[in-house]
Structure 1
Amino acid sequence: MPSTAGHHSPTRPAVNRRRFLKASFGGSAALVTAPTFASWLAAADAKAATAPAAFVDDYRTNVLANQTPETNAVVRILGGFAEVWKTGDAWNTGTVLRPDVLRANMRYCARITATRTEAQAKEAFVVDRQHQSYAMIGGLGPLADLYRSGAKAVTSITAAPDGTPPGKINDAVPADAPPGSALGAGSYDSQLGKVAKLVDTVRGGFASSNPAKFAYQYPRPWRMNEDSEVVDTGATDEFGYPVYDSQVVVAPQLLRQRAEKPSEDGGFPSGHSNALNLASLAYAYAVPERFQELVTRALDLSHTRIVAGMHSPVDVIGGRIMATALAAATLADPANAELKAAARAQALAYFLEETGATADTLYAYAHAADTATDPYADRDANARAVRPRLTYVLPRQGRDEPLTVPKGAEVLLETRQPYLTAAQRREVLRTTALPGGYVLLDGFEQWGRLNLFAAADGYGAFDSDVTVTLDARAGGFGAADSWRNDIRGDGGLAKRGTGTLTLSGHNRYKGATVVEDGALVAGSPDALGQGDVRVVGGTLRVAEVLRLRGTYLQDGDTTLELPLRENHGPALSVARRAVLGRGSVLALRLDADRPPVAGDVVPVLRAPRLRGRFDRIEVNSDVLRAVPVYTAEGLSVRLVKR
């Protein structure tokens, strides 16, 4: 599996692409009736006694000898592309089936490359030439340098030239690299050798994009400039290519890195995007503390393929789809069970030793940098960058059909959400997935609809009651996790186990929330949805303010922890009634920025009806204590000196 491949052609191919270019860039083109992927699938089902095999069971068919959906699992899951493009008998004889999609695809490329900066061109060169597995290490943030050192991972591509280099440039082990160094994910003979091997295995012999490229024969965007209907300026560049008024312009640094044979250099799917996403998911399995950042970086670097002028949005989407399925298939393969477990254990032990962190504090260490040193330190910025890159120019049409999560996909969250069952991880993937109706994403098994960035933030809906158990002794995500999504649905949540779960979305689920053990943290005013809340064990902790739409019940050996802030309303507001049973404790936490002082009367809990009283009220202060002031509609406390 080579790290990079040639992508330049100094000799202009003398071919005519006018027919499909008119449909792609502009002009008129008739829709062509052709066999679609859906009709193939129907025909295949009619001929066979059983449906096509699940991708995870059939991924090893992705070899060059197999280039049809009947014989190749990758070609099959990318079959949504057959709805927009009909492959011809040669690389330049394909037919546009959806001019709206492919015209938007080409115009996006032209716009992006026309506004590209010199810095972006240089970044695109580095991504093009550097080993993709090495490029993804940057997604590890504060752990990246430690990884490079421990894995003995090196590269010779660290910067881009100012202009067009005279010949092809490929990554190599630098002459001054330490002994035993290796390209990509690193050396197997290193402190992180199992992780390096896992990355290479996920990117192994059945992960090539070439069979699908040959099957679909969709040209790269820069090859479509010639003979197109855009305005010809009459000028040519130094390589003899015509210059157009509106065209896809390849980054200067990459002009001589292009492949020379159009018939062997298809655009769909993007091989770099496939490789980057494969590497990201392998690293994310071994180092789930940086799961979302790695997913973000893979999409970020894949976008540079468009910026470079080397690929189009549909190419990049295709690379992501196949990588998601291939990573799941490889990780779910029983043959790799021992390796993936060893890689996760090795990575955790290494980073704990090198950082001095514990399993419970490693996540904080991995997110300690700011955006000046970690480009992916801002989670909200990551989310804003990820969402449009999952669909790019694809229009959405039709109804939102429910997603059946592809077999085996849940393995992608195995180390990120180890406290959930496989069935629960499938529900996370289903309830956070993209809606249906995107033509390229709706292929066989719909792998393109999975939104792994969102899935890392927990459920998107409680369509039935959910029980989650976290164990404080498990460490890491098994002991504590945060669900940031806006959770909807008719179901509710039961929190069990000694660990801690934080909900911080604008949640609208209708079922009850029950705290049975450990801690449930309400990280937003609407964190606990619209149903009743019952604390029958453990602790309910409110970060700032909590609004409950139903009733509140606290009973037994339980704790309600609320913040106290000067000149602030009640931290807990209950829409219906509040019932306090025996054994219930109120723990008050003084606000660090605006703490109330002795003599202040601070509202704590407000409800139309309040029944019962707390057995004990605690304050995290050596000098203050709280005197309760109960009314029929709530509770305030008067702070006095001890």
Structure 2
Amino acid sequence: MNQNKRLTKKVQCALTTSAVTLSIALTSLFNPISVKAEESAIAPKEASYGYYVDVYKNNDKANMTPDSNPSIGVLQEFLKLYTPGDSWDNGVVLNEQIQKENMDKSIAITSNRTEEQKKAAYLDDRRHQSYSIISGLGEYAEEFRRGSKAGTTIPDTIPDDATSVLYNDGSNENGNWAEVDSTYGGMVNLVNTIRNSAASTSSAKAFYKYRRPFRWTDQVQIEDILMPAKKSDPSNDGGFPSGHTNAAYLTAFALAYAAPEKYDELLTRASELGNNRIVGGMHSSLDVMGGRVMATAIAASALNDPANESVKEEAVKAAEKLFTTTPSGTNDYADYQANKKKYEERLTYGFSQIGDKTKPMVVPKGAEALLETRLPYLDETQRRYVLYTTGLESGYPVLDDTEGWGRLNLFAASNGYGSFVTDVSVNMDASKGGFNAADNWKNDIDGTGSLTKEGSGTLTLSGKNSFSGGTDINSGTIEVTNESGLGNGSVTNGSILKEEVNGNVAIKKDYKQQDGSNLKLSVASQNDILTISGSASLNGTLTIQFEKGYTPSANQKVIAYANRTNLSTFDNVKIEGLSNAGNKEIVYETDGVYVREKQAATTQPGTTQPGTTQPTQTPAPTGQPTQTPAPSVTKKKQTIKVSKVSLKKTYGDKAFCINAKTNGKDTTLTYSSNKKSVATVDKKTGKVTIKGCGKVTITIVASTNANYQKAVKKVTFTVVPKKVSGLKVRRLNAKSIKITYQKAKKATGYEVKVSTSKNFAKKNTKTIYLSSNRRVQKGLKNKTYYVKVRAYKKDGKHRLYSASSKVVKVK
């Protein structure tokens, strides 16, 4: 920032426009792939069947090809391994290596299963899958069972005659796994809705005709207590994909959407159920992987369907009610690191990478809906980048489908970015609660992008980060719990930077602290030092919290720096956690900031006088009278005014300027955007460039100086999609019409109105919400209809609409 530049007049701007040792590779967490910063990098790719979220209802037995049935098509990478025959036992193995690996894994896992594993596999086989996944709610599972009236007739203790008697789950007294008409019925309803969204694996099993492992080799034995569940007719008992695994993940995704606080645990529980299908001998690793891939696509499809909006909302409300209750019982999935290890191993089961390992990650259309409640402070584009930067490396069998469903790692994605391939701005509103108030990004984040923190919430960075674009804290708090949490760039603190690390916290370049901000250091040892490799520009408040039980040394260093800009100092210093804190003060040395005992009032000439505000140099005796210090100056209030500008913009509009001015003399105006995926702003000129659709807040900051206080003004714009063009309506027959139109860039979906009234009177109008640009409307009775369309962009729970298209009349 140029402090000498005068901006007392209007800113000028020119408008221009388990048993086997497994390995896994993730695009960012382990072996980074090359990524493009352009938004085209996250553009979806259409498969031969279309986009799954658009055609998911085509999963029925009337469609039995990869091009007509998405449940078959999303798994068609399997055709590189195996060609189905016309019978259950005459298919042709195309890749002997992967076939052997698949069977070897089943042999190893079933040969080494413990009694505890056998029991778990039995329960997961015989119980309703949705009931089984409840345990993923951890300490809230028992309350959910009670409040949802969930039930099972399969007891925890396995019957003595289970080896000869088939026990089927009768669920609760009504024959349901849980009740929609219950305290937590909203969550139950979402599970049921997703599980009934054309979710059956029957078509895919019938198409692929891949045998269960015990039918490939007698070295795989079904556990004895599951023998009664073995089907006698192999012709209708395919293994790929696993239906139990599919059902488990569908339930987990539904509950995780409603209760994102348990996202990791629920996904881990689903992976556990899938793995238990291998333990029991019922399925192979490839079967389980296929079940997960299919479930992921189905869940995203159901969550994207506008017809399910109210179902989703009620589920979230029910979960909020659940989390107000007192936790009880144990949480078997409380260990994050253990969950992570299990889940990520089971994504690939350690199969050899037989395909191209260097393919860029592909993010499926609509996949961002799976993170909608887990990362609510990110927009859709940002959530797609999260999926993009946490995906699996390419080349694994089954997982390289065209759309990218197989390579998604939702466990990693639920814990934030894996890489900043663009500049990232995060706006967290603490008043909304939940993850808007506080969240923790646990992944190791690399990349060349920057991080800007906006909003009142707290974002914790706990990964071993190496992103190089720098960190700007404009509002709220960034908390660091890893020594390298701040990455490799410079840090500008305009709000609160808090560290909770036992050891050095590294700022690899410069650190600048602005007026009114706070640096909070936690000190528990001699090695707890904030280490700034570059220059330190100090201002605002320094808070030093000495942890309980630790006594600081006589010369405790708390901040190290290469140099201190203009001998800058903190305005205020707070020392906490010590009974004798009043006897402590900080001293600024050439290499850093130290905490020492307060010195006596008199000092030797020429020494540094420590202090808790600004150090002073004691003058050498001159025999002259001591000068009286100049009185302190009260800073004037500074006001920012913005010229009138339209707050509603359309995607594609030209760049424009926020023409701001301030009454402060010799102060500088700077601009920042809280959502760079919607609009970017030139830091110095205020020139705004539209990048997407949504709501974006531009923050204008007038810097402080000796005479003026810092001032902040925020201007919020709404950017809507372009008006839909190319609307065509054609009569197909007496009772149906076909509606088509051009897709609008950046649109989430479309609102189509079909009316018998040219004025679109409400009582005569049917409103349809679509994610595609075509529709066949059936069941029409009148001769004449009027149709219009407008695009919308989802922003949280709201839709931001474009202008309506022209009205088309059809007879």
TM-score bin, normalised by smaller chain: 0.7 to 0.9
Letter matched to residue 607 of structure 1: Y
State the match for 2:718 in structure 1.
none
* Equivalent pair of 1:291/1:416 in contact (CA under 8 Å): yes
Measured after TM superposition, the shift of residue 395 of structure 1 is 1.2
Q: Which moved more, 1:445-454 or 1:619-628?
A: 619-628
Structure number with bigger Rg: 2
Measured after TM superposition, the shift of residue 182 of structure 1 is 5.3
User: How large is the Cα RMSD of the aligned pairs?
Assistant: 1.9
Residues 365-404 of structure 1 mapped to structure 2, 5 A cutoff: 373-397=330-354, 398-404=356-362
State the match for 2:224 in structure 1.
252
Measured after TM superposition, the shift of residue 339 of structure 1 is 0.5
Please state whether the residue corresponding to 2:121 is helix, strand or coil.
helix
State the match for 1:71 in structure 2.
68
State the match for 1:587 in structure 2.
543
Q: Which has the higher strand share?
A: 2
Letter matched to residue 57 of structure 1: D
State the match for 2:556 in structure 1.
602
* Equivalent pair of 1:162/1:253 in contact (CA under 8 Å): no
State the match for 1:577 in structure 2.
535
Q: Does 1:91 align with 2:127?
A: no
Q: Does 1:638 align with 2:624?
A: no
Please state whether the residue corresponding to 1:473 is helix, strand or coil.
helix
> For 2:305, which of 333, 338, 353 is the aligned residue?
333
1:329-384 per-residue CA deviation (whole Å, 9 max, x = no partner) reads: 011111101111111012202431x23xxxxxxxxx6xx97xxx322111111111
State the match for 2:789 in structure 1.
none
Quick one: structure 1 residues 151 and 164, their matched pair in 2 at CA, closer, same or farther if it must change by over 3 Å?
A: closer
Letter matched to residue 338 of structure 1: S
* Equivalent pair of 1:564/1:602 in contact (CA under 8 Å): no
CA distance in 2, matches of 1:539, 1:564: 15
Residues 22-171 of structure 1 mapped to structure 2, 5 A cutoff: 52-159=49-156, 160-162=158-160, 164-171=162-169
CA distance in 1, matches of 2:436, 2:162: 50
State the match for 1:615 in structure 2.
571
* Equivalent pair of 1:504/1:524 in contact (CA under 8 Å): yes
State the match for 2:642 in structure 1.
none
1:544-587 per-residue CA deviation (whole Å, 9 max, x = no partner) reads: 43111111111111000002235x13520011211114xx1100
Residues 166-177 of structure 1 mapped to structure 2, 5 A cutoff: 166-173=164-171
Quick one: structure 1 residues 417 and 516, their matched pair in 2 at CA, closer, same or farther if it must change by over 3 Å?
A: same
CA distance in 1, matches of 2:471, 2:405: 32
Measured after TM superposition, the shift of residue 119 of structure 1 is 2.4
Measured after TM superposition, the shift of residue 205 of structure 1 is 4.7
* Equivalent pair of 1:127/1:301 in contact (CA under 8 Å): yes
Residues 296-315 of structure 1 mapped to structure 2, 5 A cutoff: 296-315=268-287
State the match for 2:363 in structure 1.
405
State the match for 1:453 in structure 2.
411
Measured after TM superposition, the shift of residue 51 of structure 1 is 5.6
> For 1:183, which of 144, 166, 176 is the aligned residue?
176
* Equivalent pair of 1:78/1:444 in contact (CA under 8 Å): no
Residues 439-450 of structure 1 mapped to structure 2, 5 A cutoff: 439-450=397-408
CA distance in 2, matches of 1:525, 1:374: 29
Please state whether the residue corresponding to 1:635 is helix, strand or coil.
strand
* Equivalent pair of 2:197/2:302 in contact (CA under 8 Å): no
Measured after TM superposition, the shift of residue 190 of structure 1 is 0.5
Measured after TM superposition, the shift of residue 537 of structure 1 is 2.8
CA distance in 1, matches of 2:47, 2:489: 44
Quick one: structure 1 residues 163 and 396, their matched pair in 2 at CA, closer, same or farther if it must change by over 3 Å?
A: farther
CA distance in 2, matches of 1:350, 1:115: 39
CA distance in 1, matches of 2:72, 2:266: 26
> For 2:188, which of 187, 190, 196 is the aligned residue?
196
> For 2:244, which of 268, 272, 296 is the aligned residue?
272
1:499-526 per-residue CA deviation (whole Å, 9 max, x = no partner) reads: 1000011101111111111100111100
Q: Does 1:288 align with 2:242?
A: no
CA distance in 2, matches of 1:212, 1:399: 27
CA distance in 2, matches of 1:476, 1:376: 20
State the match for 1:503 in structure 2.
461
* Equivalent pair of 2:143/2:322 in contact (CA under 8 Å): no
* Equivalent pair of 1:112/1:306 in contact (CA under 8 Å): yes
Q: Which moved more, 1:274-283 or 1:341-350?
A: 341-350
- Give the gaps of 5 or more residues in structure 2: 1-45, 600-611, 613-811
* Equivalent pair of 1:570/1:606 in contact (CA under 8 Å): no
Measured after TM superposition, the shift of residue 126 of structure 1 is 0.9
Q: Does 1:547 align with 2:506?
A: yes
* Equivalent pair of 1:563/1:571 in contact (CA under 8 Å): no
- Number of residue-to-residue matches in the alignment: 548
CA distance in 2, matches of 1:350, 1:382: 23
- Give the gaps of 5 or more residues in structure 1: 1-48, 226-243, 356-364
Quick one: structure 1 residues 113 and 467, their matched pair in 2 at CA, closer, same or farther if it must change by over 3 Å?
A: same
* Equivalent pair of 1:624/1:639 in contact (CA under 8 Å): no
Q: TM-score, normalised by structure 2?
A: 0.66
Please state whether the residue corresponding to 2:60 is helix, strand or coil.
coil
Letter matched to residue 199 of structure 2: A
* Equivalent pair of 2:197/2:298 in contact (CA under 8 Å): no
CA distance in 2, matches of 1:534, 1:528: 11
CA distance in 2, matches of 1:542, 1:123: 39
Q: TM-score, normalised by structure 1?
A: 0.83
State the match for 2:669 in structure 1.
none
CA distance in 1, matches of 2:528, 2:497: 18
CA distance in 2, matches of 1:318, 1:51: 18
* Equivalent pair of 1:605/1:636 in contact (CA under 8 Å): yes
Quick one: structure 1 residues 527 and 164, their matched pair in 2 at CA, closer, same or farther if it must change by over 3 Å?
A: same
Measured after TM superposition, the shift of residue 623 of structure 1 is 4.2
> For 1:223, which of 203, 210, 215 is the aligned residue?
215
CA distance in 2, matches of 1:205, 1:454: 26
> For 1:515, which of 453, 462, 473 is the aligned residue?
473
Please state whether the residue corresponding to 1:276 is helix, strand or coil.
helix
1:210-256 per-residue CA deviation (whole Å, 9 max, x = no partner) reads: 0000010001011123xxxxxxxxxxxxxxxxxx5xx0010101111
